[in-house]
Amino acid sequence: MTAYLDHAADTPVLPAAAEAVLAEMTRAGNASALHSSGRAARRVVEESREEIAAAIGARPGEVVLTGGGTESDNLAVKGLYWARRSGADGDPRRTRILVSAVEHHGVLDPAHWLGEHPAGLGAQVEELPVDGEGRLRLDALRESVERDPASVALISVMWANNEVGTLQPIAEVVELAARHGIPVHSDAVQAVGQVPVDFAASGLTALSFTGHKLGATTGVGGLVLRRGTPLVPVLHGGGQEGGVRSGSVDAAAARGLAVATTAAVATLDERAAALRALRDQLAAGVLAVVPDAVVRGAVREEHRLPGLLHITVPGAEGDALLYLLDARGVECSTGSACTAGVPQPSHVLRAMGLSDADAAGALRFSLGRTSTTADVARVVEVLGPVVERARTAGLALAGS
């Protein structure tokens, strides 16, 4: 039986969410149409929007439905930048985009695209350093902002890191930005449903989340945008979602997103406690069979996600570990990304100060709603032999 430990990438659809999606998929009606079927679809969308807003501490009108986290991030970064730089209330001095060096590529790539593309109007991207746990260095942020606050268009700092599980100091970031009237966006894809998230209380300008990390289907998510915030659309067309995100709204997906988000938030405390217990059991087991493995990320519990364990294994390649584990019924992920088919050390681990050699042996185990002690036991059972074989293979290749 397979032990699935890659919930940070995708978690199984919640049965109640699947039922809700299927029920809506069998009904006709475009939510923008004026006839009875269209109005019924619109009612489903707006009721779903209200449920989502209630679950994450937002007003219904602040929830913009999107196709997922990457779209939400792009809409926030590009839309806020363009509005601040050249919108009706824009200022041409606002050319700087400040992001943490450990952001997901859904934030980093659009930011750098603005910096490299004529449409970016001279955007300058600054990647802010983090400490050895992957947590933003507030002193660096403060220095960057106060060097020239009038030139900062926006700040984007993720709520929780997707690789090592470190929670970022969002409250402190928002407090600093607010002194200078700078909007702050946060990619909260890994945070919603895992840790308490209250948009209104956070003071954020914008927040991204997605359904398939919560138990909804892939292809639906949201951008929570504080009321009255100017935002230039990335998609143009029918003017749906208050003119911010054109395109026919998927009523079925919206319903599933509402069901999954509500359930995840409602069961958060109980589930987080169970995940922490499993994660700690897994960490102890991993270190027992691979004593020189190093746990990465935050040490303090209040600074880490409950269900994510990231390790690096000296002398072994993460991809080799991944494939060998998969062959033995354990599904997880590495801390590296592939560019054009060539494995690259994780930008997150590099930003945390790891060498390429140390970063190469990364593994991420992420637990979720369906995780069990049997899954943990399976990892511990097979990991020792897997590491030994990966190290042997690595030595053989090095000597060839």
**Annotated catalytic sites, by residue?**
338
Compute the half-sphere exposure of residue 228: CA atoms within 13 Å on the CB side of its CA.
1
Distances (CA, A) of 379 to 125, 295, 305, 359: 40, 15, 20, 21
CA–CA distance from 215 to each of 158, 159, 212 (Å)? 21, 19, 6
DSSP letter for 40, please: H
| Tally: H helices and E strands in the chain | 13, 14
Residue with tokens 């050895």: 132
| Residues 82-88: contacts with CB under 8 Å, at least 24 apart | 82/121, 82/232, 83/229, 83/230, 83/231, 83/232, 84/153, 84/154, 84/183, 84/230, 85/121, 85/123, 85/153, 86/121, 87/230, 87/232, 88/230
Q: 220: helix, coil or strand?
A: coil
For residues 318 and 104, is the Cβ–Cβ distance under 8 A?
no
Q: Helix 138-147 and helix 170-178: axis angle, to 10°?
A: 20
> Can you list the positions of beta strands (E) in 203-280?
206-210, 221-225
H or E stretch covering 306: none
Q: Region of 212 please: left (phi>0), alpha (psi -120 to 50) or beta.
A: alpha
Nearest Cα to Cα of residue 389 among 303, 320, 286: 320
CA distances from 25 to 68, 79, 256, 258 (A): 19, 31, 11, 15
Q: Shortest CA distance to 255 belongs to which of 31, 59, 73?
A: 31
CB 158 within 8 A of CB 85: no
Nearest to 254, CA basis, from 266, 262, 246: 262
Q: For 222-240, what is the HEC assignment?
A: EEEECCCCCCCCCCCCCCC
